[in-house]
Structure 1
Amino acid sequence: MLKQLESIMNKEKRISAVAVFFMIFYVAIWLIHQNLIITDYLGIHIFLQFLSISVAFAIAFEGWLSYPFSYSQHRLYVAAMFFAAGFFDLFYIMTFISERPLILTFLDEPDRNWLWVIARLTVAIFLAVIFNIKDTDRITIGRNLVFSLAVLFIFLVVFLNFNLNFPDLLTQDNRPTFLKTVLEGVTTFIYFLTTIILMLQYRKTKEEARLYFILSLLLLSISEFSYVLSYDVSWLNVVGDGYKILGYYFFLKGLHTSTIKEPYEKERRTQEELFQSEARYKRLIEDSPDGNIVHRNGKIIYANKHAVQLLKANDRTDLIGKTIYDFLPEKYHSTIKENMENMIIHNQLFEQTELAVYDLTNHKMIVEVSAIPTMFGVEPAVHIIFRDITARKELERELKEKNEILKHLSSMDGLTGIPNRRSFEEILEKEWKRNMRERRPLSALMVDIDYFKYYNDFYGHLAGDDCLKKVAHTLKNQLKRSGDFIARYGGEEFVILLPGTDQSGAYIVAKKLCRSIEELGIPHEKSESGPYLTVSIGAATLIPENTHQPLDLIQLADQSLYIQKQNRPSEV
C-alpha cells in the first residue's frame, strides 16, 4: 500500500508538469499566431485561462490515475467535473476569431461566452453537491462510466449551445447583460455557501485538506466576484483569472492532501507502528523461556534461541527449512496437519496439549504445546509455543504411583493383608446401588473366630496374629468369584459380600467356609467347640431397595451371628 501511494505521488508530479508544459507550449504558439503581446489584457486573459485549464486537466488526469488506489468517490467525481469544465474553458479560448486553422472558429461570440459561464457554473454546482455527500472508500461505480457521463455532458452542452439560440450575455457595446450578472452572482453565492459548509465541517474534522478546500473556494469566490464587476476584458478579468488559477491550484493541493498525502502519512505511521510492534513482539519471543517456532505450511521459518536449545540444534540454521513433522512421531502427522489447516482457514486456536517429540539427537521428550495463527511478514503463518515437561511428567508419574500405593495401603488391613473395614464400606455402597439397579439379591456373611480371646490368652498374641492371617488367607481363597469380597471387620471378625447371591447360596458358601477353617487343624485347647479352631458365621440376604440402607444388611448378618454364637457356636 505504501509503495503504491508513493508511486501515485510521483506520477501526479510528472502528469502535472507535462500538462502545464504542453498548455504553455500551446498558448505560446497561439500567441504567435494571434500576434498578441503579453501586455495586452486579452493576451493575458487567454494566457491565464490556459494555465487554469492546465490545472483543471491535471486534477482530472490525477483523479483518473489515483482512483483505483485512493478509492475516493469524491476524487473521481471531482476529476470528471474538472474534465468537463476544462473542455468548456478550452472551447471558449479556442473560439476567438483567427485566420489560422489552429483555432476553432465554428462558434460565435455569444456561444463562446456561454461556454465560459457554464464552465464556472458547473464547477460551483458540482463542488457544492460533492462536498455535501459522504465520501466512501469502496468502489461502487467505475471510473469509465463516470468519465463517459462527463464526455456525454460536454457533447450535450456544446451541441445545445451550437444549435439553440441562447440569449446574449453581452450587449452590443460589450457590457454584461442582467442574465450574465445573475449567473455569475449565483456562481459566487454557491462558492461562498460551500465555503461556509466546509468551515463547519472543519470545526468537527480538523483535517488539513479542508483548509485547502476552504482557501480554494474563497479564491474562486473572489474570482467570480471580479467577473461580476468586470464590463470587458480588463484588469478585473485578469485579477479574476489569477484568483481562479490559485483556487484551482489549492483545490488540487487539497485533493492531493486528502486522497494521497494523508493516506500516505497514515499508512506510513501504521507501518512504523507495526514495525515497532513486530520488533517488540520478536524481542519478547526471542527472550521467552519457552520454545517458539513459526512455520508456514509445516516448514519452519523462524525459531527462537530457546527452541534451538530444546531441540538440540547448534543454531537456527539447523531448524530453518525443516518441517515440524521431522520432530513428531508419524502417528501424529495427519492429525496435526489437519489441525494446522483448520487454524489458518477458520482462524482457530490450537488448544494446549501434550505431545511426544524427538529432538535432533533423536531423544524423546514430552512437550506442552499450543499454537495460534499469525502473520509473519505479509503472509499467514502458525506460531507454535512449546516447553519441555518431561521431568514434570516423570515426577507426576512417580507421585501417582506413590498415591496409588498409599491408597492401597489405606484400604488394606496391615496384619492380614486383606481389605479393611473402610474399603469394605465403599464396596458395599457400590454393590448396593448396582444390585438395586439390576434387582438382584445381595448377601453378607459375618465371620467370627470362636473363643479367640482364650486362644490369645493361652497361646500368646504372636500366635493369635498368625492365626488371624491363616484364617483370612483361607477364607479369601475359598471365594472363587471375582465379585465376592472379603474384609477384616475388626478384631477376630471378618465380613464377606456376595453380590447376586440368594439366601440358599449364601448358606452353602458359609458351610464351605466353616469346613475350610476346621480343616486347617489349628490346635485350640481352650475351645469349648472341639480341639481345633472353628468359626461361626451369620448370614443375611436382601434385595436392595430405597426403603433400606446398605448397613441394614450388615446389621442383619451381625444379628444372625449373635444368635448363632449364643445357640450353637462353630456353625452357620
Structure 2
Amino acid sequence: MIKDLFLNFSLFIFFLFGFHRLQNILRQKLPNKFQIVVGMIHGIFGIILILFGIHVFEINILDFRQLAIISAAYFGGFRAAIITGMIIVAFRLSYFGINEGSIFAFITISINVIVSGFISKLVKNYWFKWIYMILCVMILSSSFFFYQHIKYSHQLFPIMPICESFILMGGLFIAVFISFLNRNEEIKLALKESEERYRSLIETSPDGIFVHKNGIIMLANEKAGTLLGTEKSKDLIGLNIFHLLDPNLKSKSFDSFEIFSHFRDTIVQKDNNYTRLDGKAVDLSFSESNIIYETKEATMVVFRDISEQKNTERKLQQANKLLHQLSISDGLTGIPNRRYFEEMYKLKWEEAQASQKPLSLIIFDIDFFKKFNDSYGHLEGDKCLKIVANTVSKTLDITSDFCARFGGEEFIGICDTDEKGACIIAEKIRKSVLDLKLPNMNSGVNQFVTISIGVMSLVPNLSIKMEDAVDYADKALYTAKLNGRNQVHFYHIDNEIFI
C-alpha cells in the first residue's frame, strides 16, 4: 500500500515540475483561457491518479486527486478548481459507475473545489493558503474513513493514519516544492531582466563595450564595432584582443593582462594605440573590470576614441616645447639666454659640489662693439653677434659645455673642466672668432673682430657662493680688457695667472 502511495505521489511531483515550467508559456500564449486550460490539465492528471489509485475497500479508491484540485486552485483559481473537479467526477462516475463510492467522491470533491477555490482567492499568504487547503483535504479524507467505520465497521487503523500522514506530508512537500520552483523562476526572471537591462545599456552606450574571456571576445556592442573598424559588432566575436594591439605594445599589454587577471577586484584604466581591423591606427582610452558573464569569470572593457584628444595633446606638447624653447633662447642669436644660463648654472654647480669636481666659467665680449655698430650699422652689428654666437656654440659642441648670451655683446659659458682645460677652451674660442675675419677697422685692437675672455675655475663648496664665481670671472674679463683686449685672462682667488 505504501509503495503504491509513493508511486501516486511521485506522479504528482513529476506533473507539478512539468506544469510549473509550462505555465509561463500558457500565460503568454493563452492569457484569456489560462484558467480553463489549467483546470483541464489538472483534471486529466486527476484521472491518471485515479487509474493508479489504491483499492482500500470494495468500491472505494484512495489517491491524491484531491491534491490535484488544490493545485489547480492555486495555479488557476476558482474556475480552474471547478473544471478539474468536474472532469474528475465525470470520469469517476463513467468509469466506476454510479455507486456509493462515486457519490461520496462527488460530495468530497465538490466541497474541496468550493473551499480551495475560496481559500486561493481570499488568503494572500502563500503558506497559510496551502495549509488551509491541505487541512480541508485531511478533514474530507478523515470523514470518508469515519463514514466507512461507522457504516461498515471498517478499521480506522492503520489505513487512516497512513493516508492522513501522506496527505499532510505530501501536501507540505508539494507546497515547499512549488515554493522552490517559484523562487527559482523568480531568480531566473530577475537574471534575465538584469541581463536584458545590461544588454540594453551596453547597446545604447556611447562608448564601445566588449566582454572577453581569456582574451577572446564574447560580446560586443555596435559602437565597439564602429571604433574597431568593423561593419557589424558580430564580426568582433571570437577575435583575440591582442590582435588589435600595436605590435610594439603586445608584450607589455600581455604582461599587464596577466597581472590584472590575478587581482579580480581591480579596475584598470589605460590609453593605448590600436590597429583597427581596417588597418587604421587609433588611440583608445579604456577601462577594464572583472564581471561574471554566463556564470563564468570574464572581463568587460569600456573604451572610447581619444585620437582627436591625443592629437590636441601632442600639438599642445609641441607648442609648450616651442614656447619653452623660446623662453630659454635669445631672440637674436638663437643660443640660450641669461635665464636658461641661471637654471643650468645652478644645476651644474650642485652637481659639481656633490661630486667635488671642478667647474669653470668663461665670460667674453666683443672688443669695442660700439665702434663696430657706429662703423657698420646696427644691422651688421646684429649679424656679427649671430655669427660669433654660432661659432662659439660650435666650438663647445664637442663637449658637455654650455654657452649663453649674458647681455648685449657679452657671453658666458660653463665648462666641466679644471683651470687648464678651461684656458685651452677659452683660447680656442678666441682664435675661432678671430679666424672669422669679420672686419672691424675702427676697433683699435685688430682689423678684424676680436673678443676678450675672463676665466674662473674652482671646485664648488659652501664657502663660495655661485654669484661670487660669476663675479670672479667678470673681474678676469675686466683685467683682459685693461691688458689690451683680444686675450684670455684667468682669475685665481689667491693670485692671478695671465695667458
Instruction: Measure how far apart 1:443 and its partner are.
Output: 0.6
Which residue pairs with 1:557 in the alignment?
473
Size of the aligned set, in residue pairs, is: 387
Q: 1:26 to 1:344 in 2, by over 3 A?
A: farther
Matches within 5 A, 1:230-379: 249=167, 252-257=170-175, 259-329=176-246, 347=264, 349=266, 351-379=268-296
Structure 2: distance between partners of 1:382 and 1:416:
58
Which residue pairs with 2:17 in the alignment?
10
Ranges in structure 2 where 5+ consecutive residues have no aligned partner: 1-12, 21-41, 68-123, 139-148, 490-499
The one-letter code matched in structure 2 to 1:495 is I
TM-score, normalising length: structure 1: 0.56
The one-letter code matched in structure 1 to 2:451 is V
Instruction: Measure how far apart 1:412 and its partner are.
Output: 1.4
Q: 1:344 to 1:479 in 2, by over 3 A?
A: closer
Structure 2: distance between partners of 1:207 and 1:560:
106
2:429 maps to 1:535 = no
Q: 1:397 to 1:339 in 2, by over 3 A?
A: closer
Cα distance per residue 1:199-223 (max 9 Å; x no partner) = xxxxxxx985489779999x99xxx
Contact persistence 1:216–1:247 (CA under 8 A): no
Which residue pairs with 2:347 in the alignment?
430
Matches within 5 A, 1:158-557: 209=127, 249=167, 252-257=170-175, 259-329=176-246, 347=264, 349=266, 351-479=268-396, 481-499=398-416, 501-557=417-473
The one-letter code matched in structure 1 to 2:56 is V
Cα distance per residue 1:187-243 (max 9 Å; x no partner) = xxxxxxxxxxxxxxxxxxx985489779999x99xxxxxxxxxxxx999x979x989
Instruction: Measure how far apart 1:485 and its partner are.
Output: 0.7
Cα distance per residue 1:413-446 (max 9 Å; x no partner) = 1211211111111211221122122210101011
The one-letter code matched in structure 2 to 1:285 is I
Instruction: Measure how far apart 1:265 and its partner are.
Output: 2.9
Instruction: Measure how far apart 1:346 and its partner are.
Output: 5.1
Identity %: 32
Match of 2:54 among 25, 30, 49: 25
Contact persistence 2:211–2:219 (CA under 8 A): yes
SS of equivalent to 2:403: strand
Q: 1:247 to 1:216 in 2, by over 3 A?
A: farther
Contact persistence 2:359–2:458 (CA under 8 A): yes
Structure 1: distance between partners of 2:396 and 2:166:
109
The one-letter code matched in structure 2 to 1:534 is T
Cα distance per residue 1:498-548 (max 9 Å; x no partner) = 11x122322333233333333433343443434443322222122122444
SS of equivalent to 2:56: helix
Q: 1:433 to 1:234 in 2, by over 3 A?
A: farther
Which residue pairs with 2:33 in the alignment?
none
Structure number with higher strand proportion: 2
SS of equivalent to 1:537: strand
Instruction: Measure how far apart 1:285 and its partner are.
Output: 1.0
Ranges in structure 1 where 5+ consecutive residues have no aligned partner: 1-5, 39-46, 56-205, 221-232
Structure 2: distance between partners of 1:283 and 1:465:
70
Q: 1:344 to 1:537 in 2, by over 3 A?
A: closer
Structure 2: distance between partners of 1:17 and 1:330:
70
Q: What's the RMSD between the two structures over aligned residues?
A: 4.6
Instruction: Measure how far apart 1:280 and its partner are.
Output: 1.8
Q: 1:357 to 1:23 in 2, by over 3 A?
A: closer
Contact persistence 2:361–2:415 (CA under 8 A): yes
The one-letter code matched in structure 2 to 1:504 is K
2:485 maps to 1:569 = yes
Cα distance per residue 1:99-136 (max 9 Å; x no partner) = xxxxxxxxxxxxxxxxxxxxxxxxxxxxxxxxxxxxxx
Contact persistence 1:209–1:255 (CA under 8 A): no
SS of equivalent to 1:541: strand
Instruction: Measure how far apart 1:21 and its partner are.
Output: 7.1
